[in-house]
């Protein structure tokens, strides 16, 4: 998956502008995510903690629930470390949904939930030998009063698979579960029973009456390759890597599918038990082998930093020959009594740490450099490589990010790769950082061809031929690291994603017009502009034909994959496509959208849902917004025209000037407003409003509206929305997952209602 696919996107509709917000790409000026923690104000820290909580939660869901990570381990760890640093500096701002308070992600739907008697925690990370030395030193300082105490440690490979907990009662396997969010996992007992490494009944003797054996389910390289070959022969899905494949195999609803994958299991720990297996970690794991489990043959016991690090490098050398994925070495205090004394911190045991490996590397050549035009018009360079295997995956493409990166510099002008540029024909060292995202580590300058020349980054869009420019921040005079296509109206590369944003949930929210149908109708020439959506019904015959042809193509693909002959497949003559009337009705129902939704749907750069609500509240009607926007665009000094609005600064004002000052947008916006009539944004301050003048706090998960929608709704009724509960709070609206705010409200005697009661109170039930 390309780098931009993991970003949180705000798109625009042609010819309207749009913004991709991506933490891995720098905006003009200094983004909060780039500021040192010590330099953030309290309000900036609060916003940054919110961003981190949302982003980390999304990556947790992708990794633990979907088995489809889209960032590297190092990038994820950097986000987590920044979150912890912010919480340490601003303890009063720690959020209810803080990543430091959870492990993994919520269990996937479709499986019975299992609450772990003892939480399945994550481990702190070490990346250097010094990090390991610091870990050992912390332990020695903690136990400093015990002068004669000799602390031993275990070291064992960190298997890259899916964690599982196996409950045995009377020596019999009775239940198995995934990690889930650390507290609650998924019941996958039937699937775990198909794994030969997991005994149905414990062997030997001496096991506790009840014990939860914990370990890692994984897939060997050989089995992974065999599965890929079988799938390719049937025209089936492509598999990315053994870890994701093992996790997906373990979550199959049909246990026979799991059985066919020949998964493996290593045991290395335990959860709840009626008695310790032994007095030490090492002896306990050896007992697991006596009871019929596979344990790592590379587990050792050591007493010094030097011995632990030496074993780490020994395992690192053997990594490629093990036949399965590992991504580091885990160190644990050996004596169980010392583990208990040292305890836990922020959801992690203090007595254990994972020493991560650097990513595997390989050498290949750059055959050419292509330019892809992204969803904001960004020109994104991609290096096409001579295919090379890295960590069991064939890599042929790698992102080059932007033209500065190609030249050997980051967005701050600091050298990377020793300041060496990337050229066509170069030999490069690549790695799959976190064993996921390919990246160029270095250029082998000694192997550079004599005729290789510096790469000239295009200054025109390769799709539409429009100029491609780099914006300059007027305040900092700093040039954006990305070059953008300026052909807003005519650049086809940008159009589809702009349409997707326009109809998305937070914008116009047109049900039935999701990504697949947008792609279909755009490619068929049925929708090219926003206004075209609202005249789609006039092209019903063409719409029906496009839908039927897609269904026919999907049937052909299924036939090719299964080898079965299709029967009774309706073709392009079908004029009664199911749901078409419902789609047209959904479109018609959005002809009078709320003003803030409409503004957000335009996809003007730097204007998200919250800013759109501020603009709607300030200008009340779309006509007034357009009038002020055009006057602001024409003024030499925009501040003489545009009103001062708390929460809106020069970046947004400049974006509005660019948008309303672009004559090419006028015709498209006029055509759209012939079809759509946004409702005026009216603030109700009369006594008729049950919440006028009251201070409201929303907490927990809102299920019937987004948080910005709820805030805008309350403000329209004359209420003030606060972010925290205090003695001045009049009402708390609490959804599922409400935490400390709900508790404080109860302590202060503040009225608390749920979302349904809130809607009833304001007359929206």
Integer CA distances (angstroms), 233 to 160, 237, 396, 447, 560, in order: 27, 10, 22, 39, 11
Largest CA distance in the chain: 87
Question: Is the model's pLDDT at 1 over the cut of 50?
Answer: no
Percent of the chain with pLDDT over 90: 41
Intervals of CATH 3.40.50.10190 along the chain: 695-761
| Lowest-confidence segment of 255-264, 629-638, 673-682 by average pLDDT | 255-264
| Strand 720-722, strand 731-734: pairing | unpaired
Question: Cα(503)–Cα(601) distance, rounded to whole angstroms?
Answer: 7
Query: In the CATH scheme, what is the code of domain 37-101?
Result: 1.10.287.610
pLDDT of residue 550: 85
For 599-646, write each residue's pLDDT tens digit.
Answer: 999 988 788 888 998 899 899 999 999 999 999 999 999 999 999 888
Residue 575: its pLDDT value, please? Answer: 43
**CB-CB contact of 405 with 429 (8 Å):** no
Q: Span 427-452, mean pLDDT?
A: 85
Residue ranges matching CATH 3.30.470.30 in the chain: 123-356
Mean pLDDT, range 703-714, rounded to an integer: 77
Other beta carbons within 10 angstroms of residue 563's beta carbon come to: 8
What are the residue ranges of helices labelled H in 573-662? 580-588, 595-601, 609-619, 622-634, 650-660
Query: DSSP class of residue 323?
Result: S
What CA–CA distance (Å, rounded) separates 418 from 383? 19
Distance, in Å, from the CA atom of 662 to the CA atom of 656, rounded to the nearest integer, reads: 10
Q: How confident is the model at residue 127 (pLDDT cuts 50, 70, 90)?
A: confident
pLDDT at 282: 97
**Token digits of residue 660:** 């309303």
Confidence of residue 7 (pLDDT cuts 50, 70, 90): very low
CATH architecture of the region 695-761: 3-Layer(aba) Sandwich (3.40)
Stronger pLDDT, 711 or 687, i.e. the higher one: 711
Which pLDDT does position 33 carry in this prediction?
61
In terms of Cβ atoms closer than 10 Å to its own Cβ (0-12, 13-18, 19+), residue 567 is exposed
DSSP, residue by residue, 416-444: SGGG----TT-EEEEEEETTTEEEEEEE-
Angle in degrees, 0-180, between the axes of helices 622-634 and 650-660, rounded to the nearest 10: 90
15 has pLDDT over 80: no
C-alpha 695/C-alpha 728 separation (Å) is 7
* Contact predicate 115/165, CB 8 Å: no
Max avg pLDDT among 102-106, 406-410, 485-489, 720-724: 406-410
Q: Answer whether 480's CB lies under 8 Å from 28's CB.
A: yes
Four-CA torsion 506, 709, 613, 488, nearest 10 degrees: 0
User: From the CB of residue 331, how many other CB atoms can be counted at a distance below 10 Å?
Assistant: 27
Residue 438 above 70 pLDDT?
yes
pLDDT bin (cut points 50, 70, 90) of residue 434 is: low
Q: How far apart are the first and last CA of the chain?
A: 42
Residue 265 binned pLDDT confidence (cut-offs 50, 70, 90) = very high
Q: Which residues contact 21 (CB under 8 A, 6 or more apart)?
A: 7, 8, 9, 10, 27
Residues 6+ away with beta carbon under 8 Å from 292:
199, 202, 203, 204
pTM of the model: 0.47
Please report, to the nearest 10 degrees, the dihedral formed by the alpha carbons of residues 405, 407, 413, 418 taken in order.
Answer: 90
Query: Boundaries of CATH 1.10.287.610 in the chain?
Result: 37-101
pLDDT at residue number 23: 33
pLDDT for the residue numbered 705: 76
Distance CA 379, CA 468 (A): 8
**Interior angle at CA 296, CA 293 and CA 298, nearest 5:** 155
Q: 3-class DSSP state for residue 8?
A: strand
> For position 250, what pLDDT does the model report?
87
- Indicate whether 317 pLDDT > 60: yes
Q: How confident is the model at residue 4 (pLDDT cuts 50, 70, 90)?
A: very low
* Predicted local confidence at residue 720, as pLDDT: 84
Give catalytic residue positions. 158
**Between these two residues, 97 and 121, which has the higher pLDDT value?**
121
Nearest to 753 by CA among 709, 706, 716, 710: 710
Other CB atoms within 10 Å distance of the CB of residue 555:
14
Helix or strand holding residue 468 (H, E): strand 468-469
Task: Name 436's Cβ contacts closer than 8 Å, sequence gap at least 6.
Answer: 69, 70, 71, 72, 73, 241
pLDDT at 235 over 50: yes
Cα–Cα separations (whole angstroms), residue 501 to 20, 324, 482, 673? 11, 42, 21, 18
pLDDT of residue 573: 41
Read off the pLDDT of residues 45-88 as tens digits, 9 standing for 90 and up.
888 888 888 888 888 777 655 556 667 666 777 787 788 788 87
CA-based nearest residue to 761, from 726, 730, 723, 738: 730
Amino acid 73: pLDDT: 63
- Place domain 362-487 in its CATH homologous superfamily: Nucleic acid-binding proteins (2.40.50.140)
pLDDT for 110 beyond 70:
no
Task: Provide the CATH number for the domain formed by 123-356 in this structure.
Answer: 3.30.470.30
Torsion sign, CA atoms 592, 597, 601, 607: positive
Q: Which residue in this structure is represented by tokens 């136990």?
A: 143
pLDDT of residue 493: 80
Say which range, 72-86, 277-291, 326-340, 344-358, has the weakest mean pLDDT: 72-86
Q: What is the pLDDT of residue 18?
A: 30
Whether residue 446 has pLDDT greater than 50: yes
Query: CA-to-CA distance for 64 and 103, rounded, in angstroms?
Result: 10
- pLDDT at residue number 222: 86
- DSSP label at residue 207: -
Tell me what the pLDDT averaged over the chain comes to: 83
Q: Which residue has the higher pLDDT, 516 or 292?
A: 292
Q: Mean pLDDT throughout 175-185?
A: 90
Residue 29 has pLDDT above 50, yes or no: no
Quick: pLDDT tens for 540-580: 999 999 998 888 887 776 666 455 554 544 443 444 466 78
Q: Please provide residue 493's backbone torsions phi and psi, each rounded to the nearest 5 degrees.
A: -65, -25
Measured between alpha carbons, how far is 349 from 343 in angstroms, rounded to an integer?
A: 6
Q: 517-544: per-residue pLDDT in tens?
A: 998 999 899 998 899 999 999 999 999 9
Q: What is the mean pLDDT of residues 119-125?
A: 89
294 CB contacts (<8 Å, ≥6 apart)?
Answer: 197, 264, 265, 266, 267
Is the pLDDT reported for residue 399 higher than 60?
yes
Whether the upstream peptide bond of residue 15 has omega within 30° of 0, thus cis, is yes
- Whole-Å CA distances, 314 to 156, 320, 321, 329, 553: 11, 12, 12, 10, 53
């Amino acid at each position: 998956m390309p780098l931009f696919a993991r970003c949180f996107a705000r798109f625009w509709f042609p010819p309207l502008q749009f913004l991709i917000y991506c933490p891995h790409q720098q905006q003009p000026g200094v983004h909060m995510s780039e500021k040192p923690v010590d330099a953030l104000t309290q309000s900036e820290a609060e916003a940054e903690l919110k961003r981190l909580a949302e982003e980390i939660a999304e990556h947790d869901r992708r990794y633990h629930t979907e088995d489809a990570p889209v960032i590297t381990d190092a990038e994820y760890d950097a986000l987590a470390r920044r979150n912890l640093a912010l919480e340490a500096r601003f303890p009063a701002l720690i959020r209810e949904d803080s990543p430091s308070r959870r492990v993994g992600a919520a269990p996937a739907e479709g499986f019975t939930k299992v609450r772990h008697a003892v939480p399945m925690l994550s481990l702190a990370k070490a990346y250097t030998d010094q990090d390991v030395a610091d870990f050992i030193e912390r332990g020695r300082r903690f136990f400093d009063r015990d002068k004669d105490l000799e602390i031993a440690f275990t070291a064992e490979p960190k298997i890259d698979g899916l964690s599982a907990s196996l409950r045995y009662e009377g020596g019999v396997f009775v239940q198995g579960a995934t990690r889930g969010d650390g507290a609650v996992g998924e019941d996958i007992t039937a699937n775990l029973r198909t794994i030969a490494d997991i005994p149905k009944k414990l062997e030997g003797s001496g096991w506790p009456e009840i014990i939860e054996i914990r370990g890692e389910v994984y897939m060997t390289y050989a089995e992974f390759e065999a599965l890929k070959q079988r799938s390719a022969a049937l025209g089936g899905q492509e598999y990315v890597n053994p870890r994701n494949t093992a996790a997906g195999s373990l979550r199959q609803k049909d246990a026979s599918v799991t059985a066919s994958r020949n998964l493996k299991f290593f045991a290395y720990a335990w959860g709840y038990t009626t008695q310790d297996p032994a007095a030490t970690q090492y002896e306990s794991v050896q007992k697991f082998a006596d009871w019929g489990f596979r344990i790592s043959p590379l587990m050792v016991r050591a007493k010094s930093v030097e011995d632990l690090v030496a074993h780490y490098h020994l395992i690192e050398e053997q990594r490629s020959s093990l036949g399965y994925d590992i991504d580091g070495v885990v160190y644990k205090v050996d004596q169980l009594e010392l583990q208990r004394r040292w305890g836990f911190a922020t959801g992690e045991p203090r007595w254990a740490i994972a020493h991560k490996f650097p990513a595997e590397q390989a050498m290949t050549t750059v055959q050419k450099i292509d330019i892809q035009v992204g969803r904001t018009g960004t020109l994104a360079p991609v290096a096409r490589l001579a295919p090379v295997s890295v960590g069991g995956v064939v890599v042929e493409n790698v992102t080059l990010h932007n033209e500065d990166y190609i030249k050997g510099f980051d967005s701050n002008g600091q050298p990377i790769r020793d300041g060496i540029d990337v050229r066509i024909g170069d030999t490069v060292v690549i790695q799959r950082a976190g064993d996921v995202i390919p990246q160029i580590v270095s250029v082998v300058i000694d192997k550079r061809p004599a005729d290789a020349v510096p790469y000239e980054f295009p200054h025109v869009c390769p799709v539409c031929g429009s100029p491609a420019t780099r914006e300059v921040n007027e305040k900092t005079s700093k040039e954006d690291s990305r070059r953008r296509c300026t052909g807003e109206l005519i650049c086809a590369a940008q159009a589809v994603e702009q349409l997707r944003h326009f109809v998305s949930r937070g914008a116009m929210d047109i049900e039935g017009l999701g990504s697949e149908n947008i792609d279909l109708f755009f490619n068929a020439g049925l929708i090219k502009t926003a206004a075209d959506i609202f005249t789609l019904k006039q092209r019903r015959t063409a719409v029906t034909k496009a839908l039927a042809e897609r269904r026919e193509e999907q049937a052909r693909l299924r036939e090719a994959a299964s080898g079965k002959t299709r029967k009774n497949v309706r073709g392009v003559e079908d004029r009664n496509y199911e749901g078409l009337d419902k789609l047209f009705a959904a479109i018609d129902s959005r002809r009078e959208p709320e003003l803030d939704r409409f503004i957000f749907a335009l996809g003007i750069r730097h204007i998200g849902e919250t800013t759109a609500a501020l603009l709607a509240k300030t200008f009340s009607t779309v006509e007034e917004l357009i009038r002020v926007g055009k006057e602001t665009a024409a003024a030499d000094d925009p501040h003489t025209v545009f009103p001062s609005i708390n929460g809106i600064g020069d970046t947004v004002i400049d974006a509005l000037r660019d948008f309303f000052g672009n004559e090419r947008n006028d015709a498209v916006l006029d055509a759209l407003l012939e079809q759509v009539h946004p409702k005026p944004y009216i603030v109700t301050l009369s006594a008729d409003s049950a919440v006028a003048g009251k201070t409201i706090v929303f907490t927990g998960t809102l299920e019937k509206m987004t948080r910005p929608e709820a805030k805008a709704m309350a403000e329209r009724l004359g209420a003030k929305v606060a972010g925290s509960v205090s003695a001045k709070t009049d009402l708390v609206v609490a959804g599922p997952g409400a935490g400390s705010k709900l508790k404080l409200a109860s302590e202060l005697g503040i009225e608390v209602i749920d979302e349904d009661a809130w809607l009833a109170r304001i007359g929206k039930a």
